[in-house]
Amino acid sequence: MTEVTPLSVVVLAAGAGKRMRSPLPKVLQPLAGRPLLSHVLQCADALRPDAIHVVYGHGGEAVRARFADVASLRWVEQAERLGTGHAVAQAIPEIADHHRVLVLCGDVPLLQPDTLEALLSGSAQGVGVLTVELPDATGYGRIVRDAAGRVTAIVEERDADEATRALREINTGVIAAPAARLRGWLSRLRNDNAQGEYYLTDIIAMAVAEGMPVVGIRAGDADEVAGINTRQQLADAETALRRRAARMLMAQGAILADPARIDVRGEVTVGQDVFLDANVTLEGRVELGDGVRVGPNVVLRDVTLGAGTEVHPFSLLEGVSCGTHCQLGPYARVRPGSQLADRVKIGNFVEVKNSRLADGAKANHLSYVGDAEVGRDVNIGAGTITCNYDGANKHRTVIGDGAFIGSGVELVAPVEIGAGATIGAGSTIAKDAPAGQLTLARTRQTTLRHWQRPTKKRPDPGP
């Protein structure tokens, strides 16, 4: 058995992100609905490290506050921003000698755990640098290799001569090194360079000078290691993430009308032959069973849909669990706490909130069903409203199996409709209605025989 070396991750997040032109610190800028830093932390977490240290900058309390609920993070303040080497030096006193240190950047959000695993396993005996080849390497530190292809140094652009600048393999900023050696190198960093900073990248030449192997691992995908400095890059990352999410959905068996027009901002699992039309937005936890069809311009947020269920265009569902073969929308709004069993129909302009609808229940048109318990095969007619709120408290409406509620009915809760009851159209039902019978609550229709429609008065011709 080989001993597994414990891992400490250091995430550099002290940058102000001036180029974002935003009061929000850069690592808190949202990508797919959550901060950049949260993507980096999620990736780091997948490596099961011993500890994650986040280096945050002066004035970066908002960053710390945003992640206050993640108790496992260790926060290290870098009071002055003196360079990436200085930033890592703030965290290194917290890390034991026998650990490996993996340095990540808080503004490189698309990294994947597999890539980091490859870097760690490929450089287990020494220092590892994640690199990538770019068509345009402007602004980055260049990877210098010797004739045998071994990495010998990283040279920052501003310190590079013309030949070095011509190199296209760059440092992504992700570096792995053994803690004890790193501690020594960091203590010997100097800032006599073009930017007057303590460069983390200078440890590479130090390691080489000490005969320690330095391995440059190339990332396959330039998107994955792209750093975010500007709004444009943030938008590009969003696009890249969308493409990645679309690929994952298709790999699971989804059919996408247009892979470029789907937004995934959460954890989505799909069964086979799920069809997602254009401009579908999936947020939070979404589970779609086999054969589910989702029409265009639908938003699903924390939703489970059983096999064969269809959601028609322009519907918004949040916090909903739905059984099989249901029909929802178009223009359905189903709000949190709603549980729909199998074969339920929620039609156009119907709002459902915090209600349970049993198998085969239907509300096809223009209704509000709130805080209700709706039995099997109940039919709720057009324009029916549960009056669940008395201005202070919410009350429940209970409708028994097989009841038929006519159109335009007001059910004033708390109220119970018995199984198999029929409620006449236009009724205002404020008392319980018995099972199996017709209940009506409306004034009898009358016709006034000799009534005449008023006519407009002639204007007074005056004296």
Active site (catalytic) residues: 365
Q: How far is the CB of 65 from ligand UD1 (least distance, A)?
A: 18
Looking at beta carbons only, is 57 or 227 nearer to Ca ion? 227
Q: Is 90 in the site for ligand UD1 (CB under 6 A)?
A: no
- Window of 40-48, 178-186, 194-202, 259-267 that interacts with ligand UD1 by CB under 6 A: 194-202
295: left (phi over 0), alpha (psi -120 to 50) or beta: beta
Q: Is 424 in the site for ligand UD1 (CB under 6 A)?
A: no
Q: How far is the CB of 398 from ligand UD1 (least distance, A)?
A: 57
By CB under 5 A, the count of residues binding Ca ion is 1
Residues 6+ away with beta carbon under 8 Å from 292: 270, 271, 274, 275, 305, 306, 307, 308, 309, 310, 311
Site string for ligand UD1, 290-329 (x = CB under 6 A): ----------------------------------------
Q: Are 287 and 266 in contact (CB under 8 A)?
A: no
DSSP 181-226: HHHHHHHT----STT----GGGHHHHHHHTT--EEEEEPS-GGGG-
Distance between CA atoms of residues 167 and 245, nearest Å: 33
Coil, strand, or helix at residue 295?
A: coil
Q: Is 63 in the site for ligand UD1 (CB under 6 A)?
A: no
Cβ-proximal residue to ligand UD1, closest one = 141
Coil, strand, or helix at residue 280?
A: strand
Q: What spatial distance separates the first Cα and last Cα of the chain, rounded to whole Å?
A: 118
Q: Nearest 5°: CA angle at 189, between 203 and 222? A: 40
Question: Out of 81, 145, 244, 365, which residue is the one contacting ligand UD1 (CB under 6 A)?
Answer: 81
Q: Is 82 in the site for ligand UD1 (CB under 6 A)?
A: yes
Q: How far is the CB of 142 from ligand UD1 (least distance, A)?
A: 8
Q: How far is the CB of 289 from Ca ion (least distance, A)?
A: 44
Distance between CA atoms of residues 59 and 63, nearest Å: 9
Strands in 404-405's sheet, in edge-to-edge order, are 254-256, 274-276, 293-294, 310-311, 327-328, 345-348, 362-365, 379-380, 404-405, 422-423, 438-439
Q: Is 385 in the site for ligand UD1 (CB under 6 A)?
A: no
Question: Out of 8, 31, 129, 140, which residue is the one contacting ligand UD1 (CB under 6 A)?
Answer: 140
Question: Out of 9, 14, 328, 403, which residue is the one contacting ligand UD1 (CB under 6 A)?
Answer: 14
Looking at beta carbons only, is 106 or 227 nearer to Ca ion? 227
Identify any residues that bridge with 280 across adjacent strands, giving them in sequence order: 262
Q: How far is the CB of 229 from Ca ion (least distance, A)?
A: 6
Cβ-proximal residue to Ca ion, closest one = 227
Q: Give the phi and the psi of residue 393 in degrees, each rounded to 5.
A: -125, 160
Looking at beta carbons only, is 152 or 281 nearer to ligand UD1? 152
Site string for Ca ion, 205-244 (x = CB under 5 A): ----------------------x-----------------
Q: Is 107 in the site for ligand UD1 (CB under 6 A)?
A: yes
Looking at beta carbons only, is 17 or 375 nearer to ligand UD1? 17
Q: Is 44 in the site for ligand UD1 (CB under 6 A)?
A: no
Q: Are 199 and 83 in contact (CB under 8 A)?
A: yes
Q: Which two tokens stand for residue 16?
A: 């102000």
Q: Which two tokens stand for residue 142?
A: 């260049």
- Window of 79-87, 238-246, 295-303, 433-441 that interacts with ligand UD1 by CB under 6 A: 79-87
Which positions touch ligand UD1 (CB under 6 A)? 12-15, 55, 78, 81-84, 86-87, 105-107, 140-141, 154, 156, 170-173, 199-201, 227
